[in-house]
């Protein structure tokens, strides 16, 4: 099956969800069936084509990038509608966020690319060709990480350079748990889009919330736990989470709570040892993240 053996079912299902058009989706479904062990005759019967057509579809997935494979090739001999200089300029623009060109969107999409090409160069392309342009420009279709609009990138980089990754001697025999409060995201924003390969895309978020609905905990080894409710959290929820952690790991816990006011209310109950400093909390979070490679 050539390179098809290197493509996972998960990747094929993602491509199927992102693919436009009945025929291109048929081709992805055929690839999925082949990956699951279906024979060529069975695939041909299922999709109403001859075996040679199925072989051609399989070949496309071995010869083309996975995002391009479901779509028809450009007809032989058909000239490009963009001049070489225009094409180079377009590929250069695609390396930047669309906001640099005055658009509201923070990520490229085929629809936005088609609009931009028509507006800037007076050229019209199909959706399939737009995907090919994005791939040839060195972009891939993926999801960006959210980034709060008030986040200071320089401060984040400075913290990452100075964070201590060594465990404190007095904590070496205890389970360290970092707990903080957060809110389930209720807003929507475009995060799935085309980004330059090798980049670490982030999307600026401006969502704000009027209540805290979730508590999260992460241990020194990277195990994570959550406690959430549809309504605002109360002190009893923090106590439930701490008792659940003790049941899982024993009573020798050291909790770094940061600025989590909800958990600070439980300190007087003497459930476990507390280290409530923001600085300590950030240090422990940074060490866990560094160990997990995130």
Q: pLDDT tens digits, residue range 195-211?
A: 888 777 777 665 544 55
Name, in order, each residue with C-beta under 8 angstroms of 60's C-beta and a sequence gap of 6 or more: 27, 69, 70
3-state class (DSSP) for residue 163: coil
Predicted pLDDT of residue 284: 38
Q: How far apart are the first and last CA of the chain?
A: 34
Q: What strands lie across the sheet with 253-256, from one edge to the other? A: 224-228, 214-219, 175-182, 253-256, 273-275
**Of 104, 90, 197, 100, the residue nearest 133 (C-alpha):** 90
- Residue 151 to residue 179: CA distance in whole angstroms: 21
Predicted pLDDT of residue 90: 93
- In this prediction, residues 169-187 reach a mean pLDDT of 54
Alpha-carbon distances, residue 103 vs 97, 99, 250 (angstroms)? 9, 5, 54
Q: Could you tell me if 287 and 165 are in contact, meaning their C-beta atoms sit under 8 angstroms apart?
A: yes
Alpha-carbon distances, residue 245 vs 148, 175, 221, 224 (angstroms)? 29, 10, 14, 10
Predicted pLDDT of residue 113: 93
pLDDT at 252 over 70: no
How do 253-256 and 224-228 pair as beta strands?
A: unpaired
Mean confidence (pLDDT) of the chain: 70
Predicted pLDDT of residue 25: 85
Mind listing the domains of the chain with CATH numbers?
2-63 (no CATH), 84-137 (no CATH), 153-292 (3.30.420)
Highest mean pLDDT among 25-34, 224-233, 258-267: 25-34
- In this prediction, residues 124-140 reach a mean pLDDT of 86
């Amino acid at each position: 099956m050539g390179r098809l053996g290197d493509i996972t079912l998960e990747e094929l299902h993602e491509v199927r969800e992102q693919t436009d058009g009945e025929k291109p989706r048929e081709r992805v479904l055929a690839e999925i069936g082949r990956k699951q062990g279906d024979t060529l005759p069975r695939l041909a019967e299922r999709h109403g084509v001859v075996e040679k057509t199925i072989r051609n579809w399989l070949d496309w997935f071995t010869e083309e990038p996975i995002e391009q494979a479901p779509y028809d090739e450009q007809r032989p001999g058909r000239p490009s509608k963009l001049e070489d200089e225009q094409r180079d300029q377009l590929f250069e623009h695609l390396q930047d966020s669309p906001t640099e060109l005055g658009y509201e969107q923070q990520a490229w999409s085929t629809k936005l690319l088609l609009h931009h090409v028509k507006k800037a160069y007076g050229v019209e392309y199909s959706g399939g060709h737009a995907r090919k342009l994005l791939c040839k420009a060195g972009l891939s279709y993926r999801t960006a990480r959210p980034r709060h609009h008030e986040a200071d990138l320089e401060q984040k980089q400075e913290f990452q350079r100075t964070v201590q990754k060594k465990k404190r001697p007095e904590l070496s025999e205890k389970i360290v748990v970092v707990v903080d409060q957060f809110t389930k995201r209720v807003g929507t924003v475009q995060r799935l889009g085309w980004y330059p390969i090798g980049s670490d895309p982030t999307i600026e978020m401006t969502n704000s919330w009027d209540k805290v609905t979730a508590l999260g905990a992460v241990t020194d080894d990277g195990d994570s736990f959550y406690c959430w409710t549809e309504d605002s959290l109360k002190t009893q929820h923090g106590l439930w989470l701490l008792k659940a952690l003790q049941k899982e790991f024993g009573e020798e816990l050291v909790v770094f709570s940061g600025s989590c006011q909800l958990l600070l209310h439980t300190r007087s109950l003497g459930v476990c040892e507390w280290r409530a400093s923001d600085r300590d909390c950030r240090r422990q979070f940074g060490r866990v993240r560094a160990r997990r490679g995130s």
